[in-house]
């Protein structure tokens, strides 16, 4: 089992920044690729970004490229999502997820999920 706990969400004005954190416990964190997804009310869960187990490869959705950056610190068992130039359409619950070894864009391929953290961007 991998237990994931997100933090860092909140209310921010458009153009502002937030940094989300996801702390992992349980199995060896460095064995897992990590992803961030988000879900707005009435919409499906959407891929945001992912990072490989060693941190050398990252993927980002087109909608966040140039604004959001995913990173990880395996010594701290934590993955981060730095979100800059936030827009109202970024408002959603943000979830982190862990997938054994291989990075992926697809939510259904992730094995473990956190409980989510709310991000609200006011326009």
Task: Give the Cα separation of 46 and 106 in Å (integer).
Answer: 9
pLDDT at 27: 79
pLDDT at 63: 97
pLDDT at 55: 85
HSE value, Cβ hemisphere, 13 Å, CA-based, for 59: 16
pLDDT at 11: 98
Task: Give the Cα separation of 64 and 102 in Å (integer).
Answer: 22
- Per-block average pLDDT, block size 10, for the chain (123 residues)? 96 98 91 97 96 93 98 96 98 97 94 98 94
DSSP string, 82-96: EE-S--GGG-EEEEE
**3 state SS of 30:** helix
């Amino acid at each position: 089992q991998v237990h994931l706990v997100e933090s860092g969400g909140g209310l921010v004005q458009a153009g502002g920044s937030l940094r989300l954190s996801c702390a992992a416990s349980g199995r060896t964190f460095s064995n897992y690729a990590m992803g961030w997804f988000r879900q707005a009310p009435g919409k499906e869960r959407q891929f945001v970004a992912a990072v490989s187990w060693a941190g050398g490869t990252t993927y980002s959705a087109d909608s966040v490229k140039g604004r959001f950056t995913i990173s990880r610190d395996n010594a701290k068992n934590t993955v981060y999502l730095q979100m800059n130039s936030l827009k109202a359409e970024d408002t959603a619950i943000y979830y982190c997820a862990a997938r054994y070894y291989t990075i992926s864009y697809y939510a259904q391929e992730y094995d473990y999920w956190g409980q989510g953290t709310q991000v609200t961007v006011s326009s």
